[in-house]
Every structure is written in structure tokens, then in C-alpha cells.
Structure 1
Amino acid sequence: MQKHTHSGPKPPQRVSLVSLTAQSLLETIQSGHWQGHLPGERELCARLQVSRHTLRAALAELQREGHLEVSERQRRRIHLKKTTPKPAQSNVIAILSSRPLIAMSPSAVVMVDELRDQLSRAGFTLEMHVTPACFTAKPARALEALTARSPAAVWILFSSLEPMQSWFLRKQLPCLVVGSSPRGIALPSIDADYRALCRHAGAMLRRKGHRHIVLIRPEGDFGGDIESEHGLNEAMQGAEPPVLQVARHNGTAEHVCVVMDKLLRSPNPPTACVVARGVHVLTVMMHLQRSGRRIPQDMAVVSRDDETFLQHTVPAVTRYAANPAQFARSVSKAARQLAETGVLPPKAIRLMPQLVRGETA
């Protein structure tokens, strides 16, 4: 009787976060990304988005394997073995943001976490660079220094405006815009379809009989906000169009309230508003209630964006919800293609969020 040598498929091995972190560090070291010494623990934790406990365990693992040496000043010197090959291409994909992860919206945090997981599975390391100087009207010097100091296969740009996008376009550095680009900026981008979303929201409010609608959004020429205005304007076309107003604020709760008071005291106050950014929806609703206005009887409220905390409001917010995991998959796929091939068509990928019907409109 022949003895079977195969006992069926083996169970998948579980890989700890410490091992994944050590692997990412080693691959980045071998690519030549760092020379001489590693950066400090705080910078490494921020780039890799792991805790200091996890980072130290990963560093200890690399030290035991002979890839690092610790000096008397506790600096970790890189010790490259002669047999270690140097990959021809960087495996680092970098996020460039004006705000740290802890200050981002909950949906953005979920998206970044999903993105890091998917890129890690594909053999890439995700780094995050928080450099406000790159987000000014003249970012060239800061961008030159950053990209020279921390080279990456692909740059993922969060909340970027025209000056930064124009710089990347001129330098021909591989980048992916998470958001929208102004006309004339031929870069690949991924964003929600704010134009179609707001066209739908405007048509819905118009069917409900609203004759004065306001878009409440932050100041600045962000592509998604501009597309939102276009969508609402398109919804207002036709016979007897309602009045459409755009009210801009500086992002603080105090200024949102000032803008709201000005709208409510006008001779022809709006009866419906579309609000950009989930956090500002809370301010708008609470200020309306504090002012004695009923929602939606006196003012209908539609949130252009979704956040997890909006699921717990009373009344339930009418809003448009995107899937952060689906968004992350689209960003990951585009970033991997750009890193592996060096090219990506400068097209706009737009994902349509779903309407979540609530009690505010």
C-alpha cells in the first residue's frame, strides 16, 4: 500500500506586526534610502505609523541579525552586509500631508490604515511625511529638500492645491493626487465624484420645494469643493431655478457660526444647506438648534461627506457615504501600478458615494 506524502494544505502563517515592521525597515535600508544611521525613533514611528514598543522590538530583531549596530550615543548605525543586494528601485510609497494622522478625519485614518495594509502585502513600505511648508503658495524649496532627503517610488498627495501639484508635474516625479486637480494639471487623481453627488443633492432639495439653497464649505481652491459648486449649479438649471449661494468659512467652529448667523439674518434666508466636511455638519446643526431653528422644518441639512460619528446624531443626518476600504483599494492599485511601471494615465478616477437617507432633509 502506497503511503501518502501529502497531508493537505498547511494553515496560513500569522505574521506579527513586529516582523512586518522589521521587514519594512530592512527593505528600506537595503534600497539605500538611509545612509549611515537610521533616523530617530519618533520619526520612524511617524513614518511607519507604529507604536514605539513595536518599533523597538523590530529594531532589536534587526540588531540581532547584524543589520544594525548601536553606538554609545544610542544611535543605530546601519551595517550593510557585502552580500546584500541593492534593489534598483525604491519600495517606498510616501504620503505627503499637511496634518498628522491623529488630526485627520476618522474616515481618512481608516483609509490610510487600509492602504498601509494593502501596500505591505504587495511588498511596499508606506511612509508619511507631515510637512506644512510644502503646502504654502510657494512650496518649491520645501519640496526640493523633502524629495531629496526622502526619495520615494511614488508620492501620494493629500489635500494638495495647485502650487504643489504644478511642482510635481514640472519635476516629472511619480505622484498620485488623493483629491481633485485643477484644470490644466495633468496628474492622476482619485476622489469622490463631488460634482455628481452635489448635482444629486441639489435636485433632491429642489424636488422638496426649497427655493434658496446654500453650499457651506471651507475657504481655499480645493478641487472637490470647486466640483461641488459646479454640481449644485447644474442642479439649479431649468425653469424657475432656486437661488444658490456659496458661503465660505476658515474652518473654525467660531467662523462657521458667524457665517451661519449672517445667512440666517439675511432678508431671504436659505431653507436648505449642503455642508462640506462631516465635522462642520455638527457645528451647523448645533448652531441651528441653539438659534431656535428646527431641522428640517426651518432648515434642511445635507452632509456632503460621511464620518462614523454622524451615525450617532439625533436627528439622523442625511448624508453621502463612501466606502473607505474601497477608496483605499483604488489608491493602492494606482500607486502600485505607478511604482512598478513608472507611468499612469493622467486621468481622474471618481467614486460615487451612496445616499444615506436621514431625518435632516
Structure 2
Amino acid sequence: MVPQRVSLLAQTVDSLRSGIAHRQWIDYLPPERVLCEQMKISRSTLRRAIAKIEEEGLVDAGGSGKRRQILKCPYLDNTAKPTAAHGTKSIVWLTLRAFSEMPSINLRLIAQLQSRLLPHDCSLNVVRVPEKVLQHPDELMKEWLTSFGGDVWILHQMPSEVQRWFYRNQPTACIVGTRSEGVDLASVEVDSAAALQHAVAMLGRHGHQHITLIRQAQHMVGEDQLEQLLYELCAESGKEADVLACSAQSDMLPGEFEKKFSRASAWRSTALICSVPSVALFALTWLQRQQIQVPEQVSIILLRSQPILSYTSPRMAHYMVNEERAVTQILPRLLDLLKSQVCTTSHINLIPDYVAGETVGPARS
């Protein structure tokens, strides 16, 4: 199945949501003329996008020629310790990040889930797992969880050790992210492998014969599989493959890139596929500072999504899953777990859509 492109309207709505969530604009949206120039869109597209976020309660109704007032974002205010009213079922979203640091695409997903769970008398709260609990789940997880009283747990991009602990001790859990091998919990996963297959095939059609995957050095669930898949895909199609495993620490990235790409011979690679948004953004900036043109000399594709990608120059080609699609798959699994503590549909892959951007072009001769 070939991922479909996301419409310009959907991208515009996403950009507006992201700007509001990240306090890019204070109190009011900029004038329509300014937004149209910034986003390179027509006024009709902008007005349709504003109408959409108006329906979501992010801006007021406004009027002809009136700037839209930004209303309070519901998904930025859930910072209190989780509590549930008497008789209300409690679902706890466990995350590696503080709520205030979560990408806006995740915040919107949480907000939609909260809204869809209300008719079922369910609360959804977000909790960051402390580092010491992540490192020692067998010793600390059980006691730590008791303070939240969750009926069902959502494991968002949790490491293998945490997933295995829940599988052994607390099976009323749903994984949102890549499921570890041997963990038979309900899960909803964005199919990064499908995105990688599509990216390699597309780059091949553009004449790219040497492709580098830039991934995180940490053994995150799914990263090792992507690396192996790249080698297999390139071997099957007669291409060369390479991998750069980067640290998650931003201050170490420059040295790692210099070490990998400082020699001219390293630039046999004409295409980079990045698995992490922060690394993709750094790669784009680093290449531009080295006066390496994107996409004329090197193409870049990101396997995941981040709203800020709409503002890069050139705009980053990437893959994304609409949060509504994700909610549609996550919700029934949560309700199954609440009702019977068993999920009848265990695992599903969501095929991401391809957003073309401006960072992919023909391989240099």
C-alpha cells in the first residue's frame, strides 16, 4: 500500500494548531495576509483551516476582517496529578517526556482521546515515568503505579524493559508505539517499516544509489529493525546502504556528523533517511552550513512527523499519521480493556501518509 499525500488544507490546520500549542502567537492570530505569506497558501485555504480550528474551540468566531482571538488550549492545561471522580474509570498515559515538552501532535492525540472517553465515564491523565523507574522497573514500577490508581495504562513509546514488566505484571495496558518482541499486549503502531520501504523505493526512482539511515544510538524499540530492513531493501535493489547512529544529546550531534561526513568520500551517499525529527532538523541545518544544497546535492526524508517541519526551508519531506486515525484504533482497545481486561484485537499497524515537502530531488550526477 502506497502512502497518500496529505492535503494542503490538512497541513495548514496542523500548522495553526502547532503555532497555538507552542505559543508562537500571543492572544491573537496574525492577520490573514501575514499568515498567507508565511504559509504560502491562498486566503480561501487559510479561511477553511481557521474555520476548522474554530470548530475545535482554539479560536473565537471572529467576524469579517477581524483578527481571531486565541482561546485557551485544553491540551496544554493537564498538568495536575491524575485524579478520578468516584465511579469514573481511570486511564493513565505513561510517557517519557514531561507534558509541557510533548510534541503538539501527541497533545492533540491526547486531547481527542480525552474527549472521546468522556461519554464512557473515563478520565485520561498523562504521567511522566521517572528515570529511576525506567531503569529499574522490576524493583520500582509496582509501588510507583499504586499512587495513580489506573484501571488501564497506555505505554507511549516505552522501552522494552517497561513493556515486558507490564506484560508479566499488569496486562491491562495498551502500547502506543512499537511493540517489543515477545510482548503480547494490545498495541497501535505507526508502521515505520512501511514508510522506510516507500522512501527507499521513491529515492530509487529518483536515481539514488547510496542511502544513509540516521537513527538514534540508543536501542529504542524498532530502531534496530529499521536498520536491518534498510540493508535488506538496498541489497535487494542493488543499492548501497549506510547507517549513522546518533546520540540523543544535541551537543554531541555536531561531532558525530563531522566524524561521519567530513571526508568527501563519505558523500557518496546522496540521500539521508532520518528516524527522529530532531536529528532530521539538525541534519538539514548542518548540510546548509557546509554549503551542501538540499535537495540538489543531498535529499532528506524523515520517517516521523513534527509540526515545525512545515516551517523549515526547504520544507522537510516526511511521513505522518493523522491523530483521528490513531484515536479510532486506540479507543476500542482501551474500552475492551476497561470492560473485560482483555483486548480482542491485539495489534494494528497504521500506514503513515507521505508529505512531499521540498527536500527530495533527483540524485546528483
Normalised TM-score (structure 1): 0.72
Write the deviation string for residues 282-306 of structure 1: whole angstroms up to 9, x where unpaired: 2110111011110012211001112
Aligned to 2:300: 301
- For residues 258 and 79 of structure 2, what CA distance do their matches in structure 1 show? 43
- For residues 132 and 91 of structure 1, what CA distance do their matches in structure 2 show? 24
Residue 325 (structure 2) pairs with residue 326 (structure 1)? yes
What SS does the aligned partner of 1:167 have? helix
- For residues 91 and 169 of structure 1, what CA distance do their matches in structure 2 show? 21
Q: CA deviation at 1:252?
A: 2.6
- For residues 44 and 196 of structure 1, what CA distance do their matches in structure 2 show? 34
- Answer with 219-228 or 102-111: which moved more: 219-228
One of 174, 189, 200 as aligned partner of 2:198: 200
Change (3 A) 1:134 1:143: farther
- For residues 345 and 242 of structure 2, what CA distance do their matches in structure 1 show? 32
One of 235, 241, 253 as aligned partner of 1:256: 253
Change (3 A) 1:274 1:337: same
What SS does the aligned partner of 1:355 have? strand
Write the deviation string for residues 133-178 of structure 1: whole angstroms up to 9, x where unpaired: 3653321222111222222111101121111111111114311111
Q: CA deviation at 1:328?
A: 2.4
Q: For residues 210-225 of structure 1, what are the structure 2 equivalents within 5 Å?
A: 210-225=208-223
Is the 2:78–2:126 Cα contact (8 Å) retained in structure 1? Answer: no
Q: Which has the higher contact order (CA 8 A, sep 6+)?
A: 2
Q: CA deviation at 1:265?
A: 2.0
- For residues 236 and 44 of structure 1, what CA distance do their matches in structure 2 show? 45
Q: CA deviation at 1:277?
A: 2.4
Change (3 A) 1:140 1:314: same
Q: Which amino acid aligns with 2:152?
A: V
- For residues 296 and 91 of structure 1, what CA distance do their matches in structure 2 show? 50
Q: CA deviation at 1:346?
A: 7.1
What SS does the aligned partner of 1:94 have? strand
Aligned to 1:284: 283
Change (3 A) 1:300 1:198: same
Q: CA deviation at 1:115?
A: 1.4
- For residues 308 and 218 of structure 1, what CA distance do their matches in structure 2 show? 20
Q: CA deviation at 1:345?
A: 4.4
Q: Which amino acid aligns with 1:316?
A: R
Is the 1:275–1:281 Cα contact (8 Å) retained in structure 2? Answer: yes
Q: CA deviation at 1:48?
A: 5.2
- Name the % identity: 23
What SS does the aligned partner of 1:236 have? helix
Q: For residues 135-174 of structure 1, what are the structure 2 equivalents within 5 Å?
A: 136-174=134-172
- For residues 309 and 107 of structure 1, what CA distance do their matches in structure 2 show? 10
Q: Which amino acid aligns with 2:249?
A: T
Q: Which amino acid aligns with 1:190?
A: V
One of 67, 72, 80 as aligned partner of 1:46: 80
What SS does the aligned partner of 1:344 have? coil
- For residues 317 and 177 of structure 1, what CA distance do their matches in structure 2 show? 28
Q: Which amino acid aligns with 1:341?
A: S
Is the 1:216–1:275 Cα contact (8 Å) retained in structure 2? Answer: yes
In structure 1, the gaps of 5 or more residues are: 1-15, 17-42, 50-61, 63-85
Q: How many residues of Structure 1 are paired with residues of Structure 2 in the alignment?
A: 283
Write the deviation string for residues 228-279 of structure 1: whole angstroms up to 9, x where unpaired: 324423421325x222122122223332222222232243322110112223
Q: Which amino acid aligns with 1:46?
A: A
Q: CA deviation at 1:46?
A: 2.5
One of 183, 186, 201 as aligned partner of 1:185: 183
Is the 1:175–1:188 Cα contact (8 Å) retained in structure 2? Answer: yes
Is the 2:314–2:357 Cα contact (8 Å) retained in structure 1? Answer: yes
Change (3 A) 1:252 1:44: closer
RMSD: 2.6
- For residues 242 and 259 of structure 1, what CA distance do their matches in structure 2 show? 24
- For residues 78 and 291 of structure 2, what CA distance do their matches in structure 1 show? 50
Aligned to 1:238: 236
Which structure would you say has the larger Rg? Answer: 1
Q: Which amino acid aligns with 2:80?
A: A
In structure 2, the gaps of 5 or more residues are: 1-56, 58-76, 361-365
- For residues 344 and 134 of structure 1, what CA distance do their matches in structure 2 show? 30
Change (3 A) 1:227 1:323: farther
Is the 1:179–1:224 Cα contact (8 Å) retained in structure 2? Answer: no
